[in-house]
Amino acid sequence: YLNFIFLNLQLKMDSFKRTHDGAEPSNMQPMKRSSATLSLLVSNEHAGAVIGPKGATLNAVRESTGCRCAVESTPTPEHERIVTLTATSVESAIAGIDAILTALFSAQSPPTGITFLVAPQCVGAVIGKNGSVINGLRTSTGCDIKVQ
């Protein structure tokens, strides 16, 4: 799962404009680095594992990774809650997602799957040409990855 997140973050947080062939033009100026926001859905019953007692897990994720993270207080109609993580670097985003997933899968009754919300403009990069990226992720992780 971290390979997927890293790929998504690399696309969103690349601090330089590149030409079509990937070479850096000589007049290239660094862009202002902004934060990247990642979102995932967790069932209402698993939201407590992410939040922790009195918010302890969320606070620990914030302190250890430097990410901002929050869990929506109102569930979706499907009884899921949106967990949002905002980071200013790829490293902190990976650490934040790792901490959240560790909390989820350490729960007494862990979830059987995770749904990541991917921006429409990034879906093509997740799939790759002729499905090469998503198939590579399926093979390397053994995960059943679906794009809906």
DSSP string, 75-137: PPTTSEEEEEEEESSHHHHHHHHHHHHHHHHTSSS--S--EEE--HHHHHHHH-GGGHHHHHH
Higher model confidence: residue 41 or residue 22?
41
pLDDT digits (tens, 9 = 90+) for 82-126: 999 999 888 888 899 889 989 988 888 888 888 888 888 878 888
- Nearest-10 crossing angle of helices 90-105, 56-65: 150
- What is the spatial distance between Cα 65 and Cα 38, in angstroms, rounded to a whole number? 14
Residue 10 has pLDDT above 70, yes or no: no
Q: How far is CA 84 from the centre of its chain?
A: 9
Tokens, residue 139: 């093979």
The alpha carbon dihedral of 13, 120, 97, 147 has a sign of: negative
Q: What is the pTM of this model?
A: 0.71
| pLDDT number for residue 124 | 85
Q: pLDDT band at 70, cuts 50/70/90?
A: very high
Q: pLDDT band at 145, cuts 50/70/90?
A: confident
Residue pair 7/125 in contact by the 8 Å Cβ criterion:
yes
